Amino acid sequence: MTLLDQIKAARASGDPASIAKLIPYARFLGITLAHQGDELQATMIFASHLVGNASIPALHGGAIAGLLETTAVATVIERLDPLVLPRPVTLTFDYLRPGRAADLFAAAQVIRRGRRICTVHVVAWQGEREKPVATANATFLMG
C-alpha cells in the first residue's frame, strides 16, 4: 500500500488522527487531526520545544508554519482526492498575534481547485477563532 493509499484509508475509516502519524515531521511537531462536525481540524499539542521566544513565551513562527502546511495538505487529501501526496509550490504566512505556550488549532479551506494545482486558505487559533494567531495561503501540486 502506498503512503497516499494508507492516508486515504485512514481518512476513509474515519480515523484522521492516524494520518499525522504517517508524516514524520507532523509527529515531531506533535500534530494530531480530528473531525469537528464536518470540518477537519488539526491541533499542535503544546510542548516546550515548539517555543521560539522563551522569554514571552511564544510559539516559534516556523512551528506555526508547519502546522498550517500540514493542515492544508490533510484537507486537500480529504477534499480533493489527489493522485499524489500534495507538494507545496508557494506558501505565504501572516503572523497576526503571538502564539501562547498552549495548544494551537488549525483548519483549512480549499478555495480553488485546478486540474493539477489547488489553492488553500488556512487559519490557526488558540482562544477565539475570530482572533487567529496566523493564517496562510498555500498552493499545491496534486500530480
Partner 1 sequence: MSEERDDPELLRNLDRITRAFHTLVPLNRAMGMELLETGEGRGVMRLPWSEQWLGDPEAGLIHGGVLSALLDATCGIAAFMSLKVPSAIATLDLRIDHLRAAVKGADLCATAEVVRCTRQVLFVRGTIDQGDLTAPIAVATATFAVTP
Looking at the Cβ atoms of 50 and 107, the one nearer to partner 1 is 50
**Among the residues of 30-129, which ranges form H helices?**
61-80
Site for partner 1 in 45-84 (CB under 8 A): 48-54, 60-63, 65-67, 69-70, 73
| Cα–Cα nearest to 123, from 140, 114, 141, 111 | 111
Least Å distance between CB 13 and partner 1?
A: 20
User: Taking CB under 8 A as the rule, does residue 9 contact partner 1?
Assistant: no
Stretch that binds partner 1, among 9-17, 20-28, 33-41, 103-111 (CB under 8 A): 20-28
- Going by the DSSP 8-state scheme, the letter that residue 50 receives in this structure is G
Is residue 94 a contact partner of residue 134, using CB atoms and an 8 Å limit?
Answer: yes
**SS3 for 94?**
strand
- Among 10, 20, 29, 133, the residue binding partner 1 under the rule CB under 8 A is 29
Extract the C-alpha cell encoding 29. Answer: 511537531
138 CB burial (10 A radius; 0-12, 13-18, 19+): buried
Site for partner 1 in 75-134 (CB under 8 A): 85, 87-95, 98
- Among 12, 14, 24, 128, the residue binding partner 1 under the rule CB under 8 A is 24
Residues that bind partner 1 (CB under 8 A): 2-4, 22-29, 48-54, 60-63, 65-67, 69-70, 73, 85, 87-95, 98
